[in-house]
Structure 1
Amino acid sequence: MFKPLRVSKKHFKELVKEARILNLERGDIYAVEDASPADERLSILLKGKLRVTCDDTHLHFINVHQFVDSPEWEANHDQSDDVFQVTITAEEDSIYLCWSRMKLERFLRHRPLLKVVLDCIIGKFL
């Protein structure tokens, strides 16, 4: 995902170092509509499959190498009290890379090129 945009291995490692790798077992919930804060994190699915629903209606799946919460990331540039408008549930055992908004924004302030790259990647997947 980052390689075509010529992100060096050094910069990629720095970016990933700011994140945590987390697991969801099948049936675990990543976010609950009208309850989970939508401005705290940004995640990329590394393994597995997530189901996105609203009012118990299936909307779509999130697959490997897709952002889990890019619409919420884009909609909440400033800290807010917004909550997810969808529920995201693990369809199968999943692994994701997760950045806290505060840590990622602080990191990107000092690396404007990586900020542009990340903004472009997020925009591509919205």
Structure 2
Amino acid sequence: MISSNIPPTEFNFTLPKGLIDEEGNIHRQGIMRLATAKDEIVLQKNTRAQTEPIYSVLVRLSRVITILGTLSSVTPEILENLFTVDLAYLREFYNRINQQNHAYFGVQCPQCNHDFRVDLALSGES
């Protein structure tokens, strides 16, 4: 039997501006999964990330973003076209879900003592 207390491993996000592809389509909705040890290994082996440390952010994000709009794949080269506000958003989103293992807080109602979850909402999310 699977426990219903297993935290989620994938999280929906909405970019504040959106990535514009070569055809002019805007991609704002996406899904990011939790990072794995393999993601870090791939990052350490990436030559460009080793020579240009700032590029490691794009490599890392391209590994964990499983869906971005209708794009068939998410690569570091595609992510080079992000607006800076969207890049900052994705970096913060990545940090939140991976450092806390979930994108919500457990809280308790001060009046009735009922426990419930409150989703973290970053700028740009609805």
Higher RCO (C-alpha under 8 Å, 6+ residues apart): 1
Structure number with bigger Rg: 2
